[in-house]
C-alpha cells in the first residue's frame, strides 16, 4: 500500500466514512452491465448451487440446483444459465465497425493495408467479489470440455448443447480478467476499492457489504459500525442480515436452513420415487420442497444483488477517466477475437497454456500493467501524486523561459531553458531525461540544474517543438503555466516477439504435444473429456 492510500485510510478512520482514492473513474462501466451473483455448494468445487443474474436491477433472474449432488439437476442449471447468459454475451457480436490497419506479409515482409472488424460494444459481467470471478472461471473449466448430444461421441453423460459454449465464454472472460485494467469481467469489491479508501484493511475490504458500509454508511452510523454490522449481525434465527457475497454460503445458513430444506426435498423425492405410477400429492411435495430451497437461496442472494447495483450507482457518480475508451477498445478487441475463434470452429481453450502462449500472456499482462499505471497517472492528479511523492515526477509553475538553440547541426534547433518552481523533490540529477505529461504533444527535456533551496529546477526542452528554428506556438510552456514532468517514459515498450508454439525450442521441451499439455491427466491415465466427473 502506498503512503498516499494509507493516508486516505487514516482519514477515513477519522471521518468515519470512506475517502476518495481517485478523482475520476478508472474502469469502464457498461451502460448495460450483466450482474451475476453465483453460489456454490460448500466443499464442492464447481458444484453450482444457484446464480442470480440480469441486466435489470428490478428483475433479477434466479437459477437454482435444489440438490447440488444431482448431475441431471446440475446440467439443467447449466443449460438454463447458458440460455440466460449466452444471448447477452453473443449479442454484442453483430454490430461492428471497420478498422483499418496494416498486416505484414509473411512471405515478402511487406506491410499491406487490411480492414478488420471490431465489435462496436462488448459485454461486461460484474460479480460481487474476486471469489466470484474465480467461480465463473471454474464453471467455465467444468463445462467447456463436456460432450453434448450433438457430438459424434457423446459419452455417457452428454450435456445440453449450449453448455460447452457457455464454458468457453466464461473461460475467455476469466482469462481476460487477469489483464490489468480490463473490464469484461470485474469484481465489484475491486472496482470500489480502487476508488475509495475505507478505514479498515484490504482484507476486510474483500467483504462487499462491509466495503459498502464504509462508502455509504446508513444514516446515523459510522462506517466502522456499519461494517461490523454487515460482517456479523444476525437476526433472531441466527442468520446474517448481510449474507456473504458468495460463492460460499454462511455455514450457519447451511446448517440451520439449507441442509434441512435439502433433506426435506430429498425425502419428498424419495417418496415420489416410491410411487412408480406418480402421485399428485407427492409431486406437489417435491415442488413445494424445491420452491422452499429456491426461496431460501433467493433470500440470501438478494442482498448481495442489491449491493452490487448500489456499487454501480456509486461508480457512476465519478466522471470517466480520459483513457477509458482506449482501454475499453482493447477489451472490445479481446471480445471480437473470441467471437472470431468461435466462428472459425476452433477447439475449446486447453487445460493449460503451452509455453509460448503462457509467455505471450505474461508479456501482455506486464505491458497492460505498465499502461494502466501510466494512463491513470495522466488521467488523475491523485494518481500522479503517487509518483510525485515517490520522486518519480514533479509538478510546478514555470517561472522563467529562456530561448536557446542547438547549433551543432546544419540548421539550428530550439532548445529553450525552462525553469520550474516546485515543492516536489524528484530524484532528478542533472543530465536526467524527463517527459512532459499533459502537454500539447509528447515532449522530452533534460534536467540542467536543480536548486533544492530555491525549490527550482531548470530543464532544457529537447523535442516536441516542431521542425523549424523557432518552436511551434504553444509548444513551449510559458511563465505562470502549470507543468508536470515525469522521470519515467510515457509510452509502453513493445513486447519482444516469441516463436510460434510449434517452434518451441528444446530448452522448453520442444513443440507441445497434446499429452504434454495435460500432465496431470496423463499421469493419472485418464481423459479429461470423457472421464465421468462424478459428484456422488
Partner 1 sequence: MNVSHPGHLPHGPAEPPAQRLARLRGPVPQRSLDARALAALAANPGCRRRALLDAAGVDKAALADRLGSPAPFGQSPFAIVRGNVFESRVKADGYAELLLLLQQRLGLPEPGAAELAVPDLLPRAGTAVRTERTRQVLADAAAHRGRWTLLDHPMLCLEVAGSPAFLEPDAVVVRPDGRWTVVEIKSFPVLDGSADPAKVGAAARQAAVYVLALQQTAAELAGVKPDPDPYAAPEGLAAAPDTAVLLVCPRDFSNRPTAAVVDVRRELSVTRRQLQRMTGIEQLLEALPEGVGFDLSTDDDGSPVRSTGQLGESVAAVPAAYSPDCLSTCELGFHCRQEARCAGAVEQLGRAVRGELGSLRTVGDALAAAAGAGTDPADEAAARLARAAALRAEALGRRPSAPGSGEAPGV
Partner 2 sequence: MDPVDPTASPAAAAQRVTAEILDAVLHGTERGVVVDSPPGAGKSTLVVRAARELVAAGERLMIVAQTNSQVDDLVDRLAETAPELSIGRLHSSDGRPAPEALRHAGVTASSKVGDLVEQQVVVSTAAKWQWVKDVDPWRHAIVDEAYQMRSDALLAVARLFERALFVGDPGQLDPFTVVGTDQWAGLSWDPSRSAVTALLDHNPGIRPHNLPVSWRLPYSAAGLVSRAFYPFTPFRSGTGEGDRRLTIGTRGDGGPVDAVIDEAAESGWGLLELPARHTVRTDPEAVQAVAQTVRRVLDRGLAAVSERGTAPVTADRIAVGTAHRDQAAAVRSALTALGVPVEAERGPAVTVDTANRLQGREYDLTVVLHPLSGRPDATAFHLETGRLCVLASRHRHACIVVARAGIAELLDEHPSTEPVQLGVSVKFPDGWEANHAVLARLAEHRVSHRP
Counting residues that bind partner 1 (by CB under 8 A) gives 77
Strand ranges (DSSP E) for 488-528?
none
Q: Should residue 388 be labelled a site residue for partner 1 when binding is judged by CB under 8 A? A: yes
* Shortest Å, Cβ 405 to partner 1: 35
Write out 164-199 in H/E/C secondary structure.
HHHHHHHHHHHHHHCCCCCCCEEEHHHHHHHHEECC
Give the one entry of partner 2, partner 1, none that residue 43 binds, where binding means its C-beta sits below a cut-off of 5 to 8 angstroms depending on kind. Answer: partner 1
Task: Tell me if 219 sits within 8 A of 212, measured CB to CB.
Answer: no
Q: Which is nearer to partner 1, 223 or 303 (CB)?
A: 223
Instruction: Count how many Cα atoms sit within 13 Å of the Cα of residue 197 in the half-sphere of its side chain.
Output: 22
CB of 342 to partner 2, least distance (A): 22
Q: Of 116, 162, 252, 302, which lies in the binding site for partner 1, with binding defined by CB under 8 A?
A: 252
CA 323 to chain centre: 16
Q: How far is the CB of 170 from partner 1 (least distance, A)?
A: 15
Q: What is the 3-state secondary structure (H, E, C) of 3-43?
A: HHHHHHHHHHHHHCCCEECCCCECCCCCCCCEEEEEEECCC
Specify the stretch interacting with partner 2 by CB under 8 A; choose among 97-105, 225-233, 295-303, 493-501.
Answer: 493-501
Sequence-distant (≥ 6) Cβ neighbours of residue 264 within 8 angstroms: 289, 292
Q: Which of residues 209-238 bind partner 1 (CB under 8 A)?
A: 217-224, 228, 231-232
User: Which one, 20 or 412, has the nearer CB to partner 1?
Assistant: 20
Considering only residues 142 to 181 of the shown chain, the ones binding partner 2 according to CB under 8 A are: 178, 180
Taking the complex as a whole, how short is the minimal distance between the CB of residue 295 and partner 2, in angstroms?
A: 37
With binding defined as CB under 8 A, does residue 389 bind partner 1? yes
Q: Rg of the chain over CA atoms, in angstroms?
A: 29
Q: Is the dihedral of CA 232, 236, 241, 246 positive or negative?
A: positive
Sign of CA dihedral 212, 217, 222, 227: negative
Q: With binding defined as CB under 8 A, does residue 532 bind partner 1?
A: yes
* Residue 74 and residue 47 in contact, taking contact as beta carbons nearer than 8 Å: yes
**Is residue 138 near partner 1 by the rule CB under 8 A?**
yes
* Residue 345 makes contact with partner 1 by CB under 8 A: no
Q: Which three cell numbers stand for residue 326?
A: 482506449
11 binds, among partner 1, partner 2, none (CB under 5 to 8 A by kind): partner 1
Choose which of 72, 503, 520, 527 interacts with partner 1 (CB under 8 A).
Answer: 520
Contact flag: residue 444 with partner 2 (CB under 8 A): no
Instruction: Single out the residue of 101, 102, 114, 201 in contact with partner 1 (rule: CB under 8 A).
Output: 201
DSSP 159: B
CB of 371 to partner 1, least distance (A): 21
Contacting residue, 271, 382, 399, 448, with partner 1 by CB under 8 A: 382
Residues within window 12-51 making contact with partner 2, judged by CB under 8 A: none
* Pick 6 or 491: Cβ nearer partner 1: 6
Hey, which residues between 340 and 369 contact partner 2 (CB under 8 A)?
Answer: 352-356, 358-359, 362-363, 365-366, 369
Contact predicate 282/268, CB 8 Å? yes
C-alpha span between 235 and 143 (Å, rounded): 38
Please answer whether residues 445 and 430 qualify as being in contact, where contact means their C-beta atoms are separated by less than 8 angstroms.
no
Count of positions on this chain that bind partner 2 (CB under 8 A): 29
Report the nearest approach of partner 1 to the CB of residue 42 (Å). Answer: 4
Residue 111 phi, psi dihedral angles, 5° rounding: -90, 130
Residue 19 contacts partner 1 per CB under 8 A: yes
- Of 3, 270, 358, 442, which lies in the binding site for partner 1, with binding defined by CB under 8 A? 3
Nearer to partner 1, 22 or 459 (CB): 22
Candidate ranges 30-38, 263-271, 375-383, 501-509; the one touching partner 2 (CB under 8 A): 501-509
What beta strand segments (E) does 329-379 contain? none
155 binds partner 1 (CB under 8 A): no
> Which among 379, 386, 382 has a CA at the least distance from the CA of 325?
379
| Shortest Cβ 9–partner 1 spacing (Å) | 5
Determine, following the binding rule CB under 8 A, whether residue 515 of this chain makes contact with partner 1. no
- Please tell me whether residue 497 binds partner 2 under the rule CB under 8 A: yes
End-to-end CA distance of the chain, in Å?
45
Sequence-distant (≥ 6) Cβ neighbours of residue 313 within 8 angstroms: none
Chain Cα centroid distance, residue 272: 46
Task: List interacting residues with partner 2 (CB under 8 A).
Answer: 178, 180, 352-356, 358-359, 362-363, 365-366, 369, 390-391, 427, 496-499, 503-509, 519
Amino acid at each position: 500500500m502506498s503512503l498516499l492510500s494509507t493516508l486516505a485510510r487514516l482519514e477515513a478512520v477519522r471521518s468515519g466514512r470512506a475517502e476518495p482514492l481517485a478523482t475520476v473513474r478508472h474502469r469502464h462501466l457498461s451502460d448495460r452491465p450483466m450482474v451475476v451473483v453465483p453460489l456454490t455448494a460448500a466443499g464442492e468445487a464447481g458444484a453450482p448451487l444457484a446464480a442470480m443474474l440480469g441486466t435489470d436491477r428490478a428483475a433479477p433472474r434466479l437459477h437454482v440446483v435444489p440438490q447440488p449432488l444431482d448431475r441431471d439437476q446440475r446440467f439443467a442449471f447449466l443449460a438454463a444459465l447458458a440460455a440466460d447468459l449466452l444471448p447477452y454475451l453473443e449479442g454484442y457480436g453483430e454490430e461492428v465497425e471497420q478498422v483499418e490497419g496494416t498486416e505484414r506479409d509473411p512471405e515478402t515482409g511487406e506491410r499491406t493495408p487490411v480492414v478488420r472488424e471490431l465489435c462496436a460494444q462488448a459485454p461486461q459481467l460484474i460479480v460481487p467479489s474476486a471469489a466470484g470471478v474465480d467461480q465463473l472461471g471454474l464453471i467455465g473449466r467444468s463445462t467447456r470440455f463436456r460432450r453434448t448430444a450433438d457430438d459424434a461421441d457423446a459419452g455417457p453423460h452428454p450435456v445440453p448443447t449450449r453448455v460447452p459454449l457457455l464454458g468457453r465464454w466464461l473461460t475467455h472472460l476469466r482469462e481476460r480478467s487477469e489483464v490489468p485494467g480490463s473490464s469484461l469481467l470485474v469484481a465489484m469489491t475491486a472496482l470500489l476499492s480502487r476508488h475509495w479508501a475505507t478505514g479498515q484493511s484490504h482484507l476486510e475490504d474483500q467483504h462487499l457489504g462491509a466495503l459498502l458500509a464504509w462508502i455509504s454508511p446508513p444514516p446515523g452510523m459510522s462506517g466502522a459500525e456499519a461494517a461490523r454490522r454487515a460482517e456479523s449481525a444476525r437476526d433472531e434465527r441466527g442468520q446474517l442480515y448481510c449474507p456473504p457475497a458468495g460463492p460460499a454460503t454462511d455455514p450457519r445458513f447451511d446448517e440451520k436452513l439449507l441442509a434441512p430444506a435439502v433433506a426435506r426435498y430429498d425425502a419428498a423425492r424419495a417418496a415420489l420415487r416410491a410411487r412408480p405410477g406418480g402421485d399428485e400429492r407427492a409431486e406437489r411435495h417435491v415442488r413445494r420442497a424445491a420452491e422452499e430451497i429456491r426461496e431460501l437461496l433467493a433470500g440470501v442472494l438478494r442482498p448481495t444483488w442489491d449491493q452490487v447495483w448500489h456499487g454501480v450507482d456509486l461508480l457512476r457518480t465519478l466522471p470517466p477517466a480520459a483513457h477509458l475508451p482506449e482501454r475499453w477498445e482493447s477489451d472490445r478487441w479481446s471480445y471480437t477475437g473470441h467471437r472470431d475463434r468461435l466462428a472459425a470452429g476452433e477447439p475449446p481453450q486447453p487445460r493449460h497454456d503451452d509455453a509460448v502462449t503462457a509467455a505471450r500472456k505474461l508479456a501482455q499482462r506486464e505491458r497492460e500493467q505498465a499502461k494502466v499505471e501510466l494512463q491513470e497517472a495522466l488521467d488523475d492528479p491523485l494518481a500522479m501524486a503517487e509518483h510525485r511523492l515517490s520522486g518519480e515526477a514533479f509538478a510546478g509553475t514555470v517561472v522563467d523561459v529562456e530561448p536557446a538553440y542547438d547549433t551543432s547541426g546544419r540548421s539550428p534547433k530550439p532548445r529553450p531553458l525552462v525553469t520550474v518552481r516546485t515543492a516536489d523533490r524528484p530524484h532528478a540529477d542533472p543530465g536526467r531525461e524527463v517527459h512532459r505529461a499533459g502537454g500539447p504533444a509528447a515532449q522530452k527535456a533534460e534536467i540542467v540544474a536543480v536548486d533544492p533551496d530555491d525549490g527550482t529546477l531548470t530543464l532544457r526542452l529537447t523535442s516536441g517543438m516542431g521542425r523549424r528554428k523557432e518552436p511551434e506556438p504553444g509548444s513551449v510552456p510559458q511563465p505562470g503555466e502549470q507543468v508536470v514532468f515525469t522521470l519515467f517514459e510515457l509510452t509502453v515498450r513493445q513486447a519482444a516477439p516469441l516463436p510460434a508454439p510449434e517452434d518451441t525450442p528444446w530448452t522448453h521441451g520442444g513443440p507441445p504435444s497434446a499429452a504434454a499439455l495435460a500432465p496431470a491427466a496423463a499421469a493419472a491415465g485418464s481423459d479429461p473429456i470423457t472421464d465421468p466427473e462424478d459428484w456422488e
